[in-house]
Amino acid sequence: MFTLTVRDHFMIAHSFRGAVFGPAQALHGATYVVEVAFRRSALDEDGLVVDIGLAAAALRDVLAPLNYRNLDDDPAFAGRNTTTEFLARVVWERMAARIADGALGPAGRDLAGLEVTLRESPDAWAAYEAPL
């Protein structure tokens, strides 16, 4: 399996509900480094998994609506704790939609899987991976 990974970041504010979150129940900020790994079993006719430029642009487009936002105010997340794990899946779903819409060109049709990793610090991260 071949993998191509692109990276970007986004900054958010949010709070959590539940005693398990301790002080994170209060409004706080986070800066996530996001890595998206695109997987396919064979390279395309140009020797690529997908075009790096198209992949980076698609990730930038996916992250734009989240960047510099208070996720507590976003109706799409009402009643949800926007944990790192939860957000990894949100980014995965939005990236999968962009791929389905053709944002990665013809090579995107042959992708086998996608993994999204959100790093909230050098010591802690979460990921969501699924086939396409």
12 domain residue, yes or no:
yes
Closest-CA residue to 71 (of 7, 17, 6, 129)? 17
pTM for this prediction: 0.96
Q: What are phi and psi of 7, to 5 degrees?
A: -135, 145
Domain extent, residue 74, equals: 1-18+41-48+59-124
For 10-26, what is each residue's pLDDT tens digit? 999 999 999 999 999 99
Handedness of CA 4, 9, 82, 77 (dihedral sign): negative
Percent of the chain clearing pLDDT 70 (strictly above)? 100
CATH of the domain at 114: 3.30.479.10
Please report which helix (H) or strand (E) contains residue 70, including its range.
strand 69-70
Total of domains in the chain:
1
Q: Would residue 82 count as lying in a domain?
A: yes
Kindly state whether residue 97 falls inside one of the protein's structural domains: yes
Mark the ranges of the chain whose per-residue pLDDT is less than 50: none
Other Cβ atoms closer than 10 A to 21? 14
In a domain, 24, yes or no: no
132 located within any domain: no
Scan for tokens 């060109």, then name that residue. Answer: 105
86-100 confidence digits (pLDDT tens): 999 999 999 999 999
User: 131 in a domain, yes or no?
Assistant: no
